[in-house]
Every structure is written in structure tokens, then in C-alpha cells.
């Protein structure tokens, strides 16, 4: 096996991993603030992918343009989901929250199946076949753009939490729920905003992902599990951790696919998850609870 191939596979893994990272970032932000694990995360991701595919099919809209209306719609959807459905559950036990979001996930994945059927859908844009060359190393253009979009969205999210007043208020909420309420913050609204923001991450990641894979309804549960693995490895609630986790999983999937068998790739991810949970349960970049 040539080194060129390995390097190419690793680079593809890193680029895909950045998109994974953005998806997981949504989960991490929601958990970090609302303290609810979104068990419908991957299903939301597939809905975003279908939305992008539909906009492309109907209007010939490039996925990178389609992502704007999809993200806006997802923000509203996430906001409504938290404000309407999840809010009464934030004080309930974990298994109760899990069941709620699981029911949401079951409805989502099967609604997609009902509407679109089980067959794979995709978008076809001309740059999917092109690549940048750097000596023997090839960068798929679509993959580079997808990773670029993920990095851009991540940077915007970091800036939002660091510099905007709302972002700071949300962080205050995450650090100290009671303190935030005493300070007069409208915690319910901030939670809904957070869920909306997490949903934007999913929308952008979904829009980027359709350039890399064909979408089927069955991808939903797979992405949910993947997002969990990533945030646990990176550190639940840690934003840089989600990105690092995404890259690690992206690369480990790519390498396992190359050296062992494509079907064994998620075994590596779960193995990594078990190791991290045991040796560093707060995740690689997480703070000790």
C-alpha cells in the first residue's frame, strides 16, 4: 500500500471529520446548556440533507446556497421543538427525556421513509468530480468546500458565544442556571435559542454532507450514534472537543475502511468511545464535572 493513498485517505478523513464535528457541535452545545441529550440529532441531520436535496432537485439550488433557507428553517424548528416539546421535560429524569426524543426520532425517520421511500437520494454538481492537486496528494473539491463551510459555521458559532450579548447570556445559563435566573435572564427563551442554534449546526452540516454521501432515511440513527461518539470522545459540552472528536472519528473511520473493511469502521469508533469513557470520562477536552 502506497503512502500517497494513506495520506489521501487521512486528508479525506480530516475533511469529513470537520463536517462531523459541526454536527456534533450542535449536540454538544444543546447538552452543554439545556442539559438534554438530543437523541433525535442524526434524524434532524437527515431531514436537513433531504431538504437540501429537494431544493437542489426543484430549483437547481447549489447546496451551499440551499443551506441558508434550510438553516433559517431549522433554527425556527429547533426553537419551537425546545419551547413547545422539550421544555416541560428539562426537570424530568434522564430516561424520560430520552424516551421523548426517541419518539421524536422515530416519527422523523419514518416520516422521511413515508415521503421519500427507502431509496438513496443525492445531488450532482460539477465540482464533485474535480479535485485540487498538490503533488501526489488530491483534495476533492466538494470535500474541501464542505469542510470549509463547516469551519466557517464553527467560527461563527465561536464568535457568537464569545462576543454577542445573547451568546454570553447563554453561557451564563450553562454555568449557573440559578444564578442566571436570579440575574433576570429568561432561561426558557435562552434554552429555545440554544436549541435553535444547535439545529443550525445540524442544518449546515447536513447541507455539506449531501456533497459527500447519498442520503437515506436509515442514516438518521447512524448519525445520532456517531454524534454521541464524537462528543463523548471530545468532551460533552466542550466546543473545541466536538471538532477534535469529529476529526478523530473521521480519520479513524477512513483508516479502518482502508486497512480492515468498510463494515468495521464504526467498530473502531465505538472502541474509541469505550476507551475514552473509561480512561477519561469527561472526554479529551472536557472539564471534570
Partner 1 sequence: MNRRAAALLLALGALLVALPHVAGSYALSVATLILYFAYTGQAWNVMMGFAGQLSLGHSIYVGVGAYAAGALFFHYGIGPWAGLWLAIALSVLIGLVIGFLAFRFGISGVYFALLTIAFAEFTRIGFDHLDWLGGPGGMFLKVAQRDQIDLANFRGPPIMYYYAMLALSAAALALCAWLLRSRAGYYWRAIREDEEAAQALGINTFRWKMLAVTISSAMTAISGVFFAFYYNNLFPEQIFNIGRSIEIILGPVIGGVGTLFGPILGAAVLTLLSDGITEALAAFGWEIPGIKQVLYGLVLLAAIMFMPHGIWPALARRIGVDR
Residues that bind partner 1 (CB under 8 A): 37, 85, 88, 92, 94-96, 98-100, 102-107, 109-114, 117-118, 217, 221, 225, 228-229, 232, 236, 261, 263-264, 266-267, 270-271, 273-274, 277-278, 281
Q: Which residues contact 113 (CB under 8 A, 6 or more apart)?
A: 217
Strands, E assignment, the chain? 131-134, 137-140
Distance from the Cα of residue 246 to its chain's centroid:
9
CB of 257 to partner 1, least distance (A): 13
| Least gap, CB of 253 to partner 1 (angstroms) | 12
Contact 249, 269 (CB under 8 A): yes
Shortest spacing between CB 157 and partner 1, in angstroms: 23
Identify which of residues 206 and 217 has a Cβ nearer to partner 1 in the complex.
217
CB of 152 to partner 1, least distance (A): 30
Q: Are 81 and 191 in contact (CB under 8 A)?
A: no
Of 38 and 154, which CB lies nearer to partner 1 in the complex structure?
A: 38
- Report the nearest approach of partner 1 to the CB of residue 245 (Å): 13
Taking the least distance from each CB to partner 1, the nearer of 107 and 155 is 107
Whole-angstrom distance, CA of residue 14 vs CA of residue 249: 9
Which residues, 6 or more positions from 10, have their beta carbon under 8 angstroms from its beta carbon? 251, 254, 255
Nearest alpha carbon to residue 241 among 14, 46, 21: 21
Query: 185 Cβ partners below 8 Å, 6+ apart?
Result: 169, 172, 173
Amino acid at each position: 500500500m502506497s503512502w500517497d493513498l494513506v495520506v489521501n485517505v487521512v486528508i479525506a478523513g480530516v475533511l469529513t471529520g470537520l463536517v462531523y464535528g459541526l454536527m456534533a457541535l450542535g449536540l454538544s452545545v444543546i447538552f452543554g446548556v439545556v442539559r438534554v441529550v438530543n437523541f433525535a440529532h442524526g434524524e434532524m441531520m437527515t431531514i436537513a440533507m433531504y431538504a437540501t436535496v429537494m431544493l437542489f432537485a426543484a430549483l437547481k439550488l447549489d447546496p451551499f446556497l440551499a443551506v441558508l433557507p434550510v438553516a433559517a428553517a431549522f433554527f425556527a424548528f429547533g426553537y419551537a421543538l425546545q419551547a413547545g416539546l422539550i421544555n416541560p421535560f428539562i426537570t424530568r429524569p434522564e430516561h424520560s427525556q430520552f424516551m421523548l426524543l426517541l419518539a421524536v426520532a422515530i416519527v422523523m425517520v419514518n416520516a422521511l421513509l413515508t415521503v421519500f421511500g427507502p431509496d438513496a437520494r443525492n445531488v450532482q454538481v460539477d465540482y464533485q468530480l474535480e479535485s485540487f492537486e498538490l503533488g501526489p496528494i488530491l483534495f476533492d473539491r466538494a470535500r474541501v468546500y464542505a469542510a470549509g463551510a463547516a469551519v466557517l459555521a464553527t467560527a461563527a458559532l465561536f464568535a457568537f458565544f464569545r462576543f454577542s450579548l445573547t451568546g454570553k447570556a447563554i453561557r451564563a445559563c450553562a454555568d449557573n442556571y440559578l444564578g442566571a435566573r436570579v440575574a433576570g435572564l429568561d432561561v426558557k427563551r435562552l434554552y429555545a435559542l440554544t436549541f435553535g442554534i444547535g439545529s443550525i449546526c445540524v442544518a449546515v452540516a447536513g447541507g455539506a454532507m449531501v456533497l459527500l454521501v447519498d442520503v437515506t432515511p436509515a442514516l438518521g440513527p447512524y448519525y445520532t450514534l456517531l454524534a454521541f461518539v464524537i462528543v463523548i470522545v471530545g468532551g460533552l459540552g466542550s466546543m473545541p472537543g466536538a471538532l477534535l472528536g469529529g476529526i478523530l472519528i473521521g480519520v479513524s473511520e477512513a483508516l479502518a475502511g482502508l486497512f480492515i473493511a468498510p463494515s468495521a469502521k464504526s467498530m473502531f469508533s465505538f472502541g474509541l468511545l469505550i476507551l475514552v469513557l473509561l480512561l477519561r470520562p469527561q472526554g479529551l477536552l472536557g472539564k471534570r464535572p
